[in-house]
Amino acid sequence: MWFESPEETLAYPKRFLAYLMTYGTLEDIVTARKYFVDSDFEALLNDPPAGIFDARSWNDWNGVYRRVPVPPLPQRNIP
């Protein structure tokens, strides 16, 4: 992630995966799969951080893991 050091990025693997799943290229995903397993990606879909996924990537990744119907896009709740 361009806005943090590698150490900061990897300190929050859940957030890293969410950004990867939203903005990563196919090459990025292939590289990440050397370090993360399918269950890591699927677990992120069960408890996603709000405000990172866009509608296209959210629908695509839920389709990869056959989550039908696709849950609502995670959103931030600002009181």
How distant, in Å, are the alpha carbons of 31, 70, 71, 74, 79 from that of 28? 5, 24, 25, 23, 36
Q: Which two tokens stand for residue 57?
A: 């990537």
The residue whose two tokens read 């709000």 is 50
pLDDT for 1-27, tens place per residue? 678 888 888 899 999 999 999 999 999
The amino acid that residue 33 corresponds to is R
- CA-to-CA distance for 21 and 40, rounded, in angstroms? 12
pTM: 0.87
* pLDDT band, residue 30 (cuts 50/70/90): very high
CA atoms within 13 A on the CB side of 66: 1
- CA-to-CA distance for 75 and 50, rounded, in angstroms? 5
